[in-house]
Amino acid sequence: MTSPRTLLNAWQVQAKKQLGQHFLRHPAAAEKIVAATQIRPDDIVLEIGAGLGALTIPVARKAARVYAVETDRRITGLLKTELLAAEIDNVSIIEKNILDFDIAHLAAETGQRLVVIGNLPYHISSQVLVRLIMSRHWIDRAVLMFQKELAERLMASPGTKTYGRITVMLAYCAGIGRLSDFPAESFFPRPKVDSSVLEIRFRQTLETDPRDETFLHRVIQAAFSKRRKTLKNALTGSFLDLSPETAIKALAAAGIDPIRRAETLSPNDFIRLSNCLISVSRSAR
């Protein structure tokens, strides 16, 4: 593995801060992540942000095929050269923003659920997670690197300061485990914070099913948009356009005290609340 600094200098390319580009410097770090993914010879891998190929190459040596999505066209030529030098021929490079990529179509095309890997830029990490949640029926598991602060939020428990909207959206449909931590000096350019690698295993069946998953996400967003307010006030003062009567009836039906705050609710509490809001709103028509 050639150092990122050497590669970028050779190609006269600079890392883009606006894309959150921080490339793994050490082969041992990349190998540790790849080992944790437990890639099998028949796995189809979707890599988010292939970059310079630090993960792409060792993953490709284990998987049946890798679809490497990279939005920065300045470095895809560099990546192709690295793959050629490593004699890797089972990687398809897709020059696209992952937020515009159709995960379901790829899974249908390959005929199996995907393994997702990637070193996620902080500024789109939450958006990528939402896309993965909505596409989870086509994903076997995901092994992703986050800035450590976000990783802590994703693993937070109800009642803590770091527990928030994205925590709930992920926790109700997935099991999450921390695989390893990497200090800032593991990357070039060096970021200001450390990183953590998490494994996300999506559940194909849920303990409690949301009647409308899109509406559930809106309820979670509304509740946390004014997290210092009580649930009743947060919901009625939100974009959901609920009357106080509707909010109180739904909270009562869900068995939730209206003076509680969003961060005290478990993921299943939010599902019950969302389902009850749908029922109460329909009965009021």
CA distance 226 to 121: 26
pLDDT in tens, 84-106: 999 999 999 999 999 999 999 99
pLDDT for the residue 257: 97
6 has a pLDDT exceeding 80: no
pTM of the model: 0.90
pLDDT confidence bin for 284, thresholds 50/70/90: low
Neighbours of 92 (CB within 10 A): 10
pLDDT in tens, 213-239: 999 999 999 999 988 899 999 999 899
* All structural domains of the chain: 4-202 (3.40.50.150), 213-283 (1.10.8.100)
Helices marked H in the chain: 4-10, 27-37, 56-60, 73-85, 103-110, 125-134, 148-154, 165-171, 213-225, 231-236, 244-253, 267-283
pLDDT in tens, 51-67: 889 999 999 999 999 99
pLDDT in tens, 113-169: 999 999 988 889 999 999 999 999 999 999 999 999 999 999 999 999 999 999 999
